[in-house]
Structure 1
């Protein structure tokens, strides 16, 4: 559990221990730094006296070049190095974060050929006593700076509010569908979970050095891959965090990648299976025609997904081409082969053998309940597939699934995923199961995190076209089955957002999740219905209630349809 310190506010200058031996300044400083770092890790004399050192800025700059031993990191590494350390003025160009010390560094691997984990740590001059680790996205590969305004804190940057922030690149360079780092065992483990603990421990040692104490509370926040990382830290490192925001979490990572391969196979390896973008738009518009007003408001948002699902069979029948027209190229109806492609998306994937934690399914998407697959992260734009599928040409799901099959599963860049039998993978099955344990974040046992009083907020769009919202719901329901609804309510809030896709959509919510989490942790006030402001360009400024699952916002029948006050949270 995070150490509880005294009052927050303006911190002391960087502190370190006095040493009596006269040595050169640089060496003396390093010795004093090590004394404090080792104390932060629980090593050294507890009775040693601390004294104020030179200015915050000077101590910040002198960190550059410092090396940190493996012993302060809770997982095996080759230690860490501080590459740069500089003060960023509050008046610096485009700075939204106030005055702070920016530290960049790298955590060294155990094996030659494994990339470093590059990280950033940001220490505000006026610290609020809390720390925030920020998650990544996609296959990571880019250092998460922890600076600037974030989706879960829409008005002011966490760093500007006094949070010490930190993030990393998960242990490789480059965020692409190819994911070639999957060929390196240690890099895969780092990506799956180890980078989170390694960076956390280095950051907390630096925070302890900077302020003379550890944070009162440590939080994690991220979306997509960062959401998966949020669930990962609760499952694997429950003693390290007091609260987690895990939005649109990429749970069951192997499952969604295998489903992506199946989608590609139905589009490219099945005659007539490609679904052109006009037809995807037609499916979406038909969904709005049938389901938009089921919540009482004609607002371009499908809110009552459960009621909409009851119309699914009729919608599919109305979209199917009449006999004799299936082979005619048009944008008004779908052939059986095209509907089969959408059925793969809708139905997800069921495996005849279990992944880790006995998981056998990846839940499908709300294809006929408001999800639009024509955007940047949608389905394929091209009706032919080259040797190296890309997100732009071949869609996010297939291109990511193809890269996973090549580099993580088969570990062969020439592997042809279009010919891969994902239900009967043969000699690759053991590797898939091992990967699902390393990366999947599907362990439902959060008992340690719950017992410690840890809190969790998850927000996920019901129209998400990248990570299925139904997989998140399935994990939530598994928690309820395991612990009971009362226990789950005591530590978790799940908000399923109508109209929200994977960062875009008919409704893009902006709300202060970090403030809600901090209030819950520090004051014991659990969030209930939240209010979100829409930041979608066409409808910017309207608001809706964010309802706790399984409720959704229903229009009350009077009042401004663009105001959250005109809606109530109800169950379908």
Structure 2
């Protein structure tokens, strides 16, 4: 059913009966729905039948009316917390939350998570690379919802780095295969119907990193479940990246191979200096990432030994090259993936935020919390997903020669690599997809997102792909605007998606803002990038998208 037809059906149900799909307010109108029935949701049971995947139902655990200032707007909403119960009674519940605003705009948006998840995302937050000068979805009177993906993080673990749920099969499928996404979506829309007496006219999804993978999961697996999707810096080939992270953990754990923070800064500044002007202006942003040909050997210490922070030893150069080079494994895995393309540390990546990339200390056993995020992610995966032995030394598992672990790796690849490039069902359902990535991402390689986009284009063809999908690569932007990126990306992708879904108006000549440096750039559809022509180098009007 088209968007217009869905709108008409929902409006007709409300005007004729006053309610739809269950108990709800009888005074709702098309333009101004009545306040949500918050008190009536308390302890409400959620039938298993409203969810398309197996559960044993669920229950609302708490409700409260909240008034808060969000994005400068005073918003009153009903916050509903609920649990979805597993089939396997030893598996954790899925914990979820819904924010139901007064004066609802008849739209709903689900947020994705990050890392290993384990907590419910902030329902008052913005979409990935969202606009700093515009209201967040809840402040726009969206009904927002999210879940913890089916497990609860230990309070003593670093944020989003607790993989201990991996010992349970149902929990793994909820998280890695995305089963919890559909269960949470179905339960949340059940609560929306009960609260307002009607369905949303449109339902959107937005997430970055793990949430970006989740955005692609819903488009791949449930093509009619969401009208529009925003996928930021997606870790879609999660198992493939994990193997690369394991390989890099071993390389960087070797004596003398780890470059400390001072050497990381040296590498970053040298790479930017070498490649900054390729786009026609020196602005500390490498726009022509593919054209960058920085050679780390130019930083080699005399004789190759480590002589201090002004150069790299041979061992450190080897580690740097390993991080920026595709990692290929000499065996087959069931997902069909054969390699991970490496991280763009030699092409303008922001070494000023080392936690996401190298970290500040070398990988070791036990894995330090000061090592890179990816190395800690690998460590948790080995202990709980692969070996299911929390005492296992992750540095003893060699991704190049996994030995007895190969079968388990291959099996997990079918769950964790969400690599279906055939998005024709999503396109036929009228879905629209905006894909975003920063070219200086330290944690999820933008080269991997390039690869996924090219796969979709190869399957669907350029014209069909262009009709429902846009991919924007943002020069200088890092992972989730973490720390102090060279370009802190800000763009109102949600409004662009709304116009595309609801009126057929595709994004046209979008402009992205750098909120740190008060400048703008054209947001170029991949494989385009912004080249400077003339005029104010802080203005997008001075640039043109080129290939």
Question: Which residue of the partner structure matches residue 501 of structure 2?
Answer: 521
Alignment partner of 1:388 out of 362, 367, 377:
367
Aligned mates of 1:58, 1:473 — CA distance in 2:
42
8 A contact 2:361–2:368 mirrored in 1: no
Alignment partner of 1:293 out of 263, 277, 296:
277
Alignment of 1:197-216 (within 5 A): 197-216=182-201
| Aligned CA-pair RMSD | 2.5
Alignment partner of 1:469 out of 446, 449, 452:
446
**Which moved further from structure 2: 339-348 or 235-244?**
339-348
Alignment of 1:339-358 (within 5 A): 339-358=317-336
Alignment partner of 2:385 out of 389, 408, 412:
408
Instruction: Determine whether 1:36 maps to 2:22.
Output: yes
Alignment of 1:540-555 (within 5 A): 541-555=518-532
Alignment of 1:301-380 (within 5 A): 301-308=285-292, 311-312=293-294, 315-322=295-302, 324=303, 326-375=304-353, 376-380=355-359
8 A contact 1:5–1:213 mirrored in 2: no
Q: Using the TM superposition, give the Cα deviation of residue 183 of structure 1 relative to its aligned residue in structure 2, in angstroms.
A: 0.9
**Which moved further from structure 2: 381-390 or 289-298?**
381-390
Q: Using the TM superposition, give the Cα deviation of residue 440 of structure 1 relative to its aligned residue in structure 2, in angstroms.
A: 2.0
Classify 1:16/1:142 alpha carbon distance in 2 versus 1 (closer, same or farther; 3 Å).
Answer: farther
Classify 1:235/1:356 alpha carbon distance in 2 versus 1 (closer, same or farther; 3 Å).
Answer: farther
**Once the two structures are superposed, what CA deviation does each residue of 1:127-172 show, in whole Å capped at 9, x if it has no partner?**
2222111111111111124224444354102122221111111111
Classify 1:116/1:95 alpha carbon distance in 2 versus 1 (closer, same or farther; 3 Å).
Answer: farther
Aligned mates of 2:126, 2:395 — CA distance in 1:
41
8 A contact 1:12–1:211 mirrored in 2: no
- SS in structure 2 opposite 1:160? helix
- SS in structure 2 opposite 1:278? helix
**Once the two structures are superposed, what CA deviation does each residue of 1:358-391 show, in whole Å capped at 9, x if it has no partner?**
111111111211013341322131246241332x
Say which one has the larger Rg. 1
Question: Which residue of the partner structure matches residue 156 of structure 2?
Answer: none
Alignment partner of 1:172 out of 124, 134, 151:
151
**Once the two structures are superposed, what CA deviation does each residue of 1:267-295 show, in whole Å capped at 9, x if it has no partner?**
11x23211112111111111122111111
Alignment partner of 1:135 out of 93, 101, 112:
112
Question: Which residue of the partner structure matches residue 79 of structure 1?
Answer: 57
Aligned mates of 2:362, 2:193 — CA distance in 1:
55
Aligned mates of 1:95, 1:67 — CA distance in 2:
35
Alignment of 1:88-127 (within 5 A): 88-89=66-67, 96=73, 98-127=75-104
Instruction: Determine whether 1:185 maps to 2:164.
Output: no
Q: Using the TM superposition, give the Cα deviation of residue 113 of structure 1 relative to its aligned residue in structure 2, in angstroms.
A: 2.3
Q: Using the TM superposition, give the Cα deviation of residue 97 of structure 1 relative to its aligned residue in structure 2, in angstroms.
A: 6.0
Question: Which residue of the partner structure matches residue 240 of structure 1?
Answer: 225
Q: Using the TM superposition, give the Cα deviation of residue 435 of structure 1 relative to its aligned residue in structure 2, in angstroms.
A: 2.0
**Once the two structures are superposed, what CA deviation does each residue of 1:394-434 show, in whole Å capped at 9, x if it has no partner?**
11121111111111111111111212121222232222222
Question: Which residue of the partner structure matches residue 542 of structure 2?
Answer: 566
Aligned mates of 2:297, 2:214 — CA distance in 1:
40
Unaligned runs of 5+ in 1: 18-32, 41-49
Alignment partner of 1:256 out of 237, 241, 266:
241
Question: Which residue of the partner structure matches residue 67 of structure 1?
Answer: 45
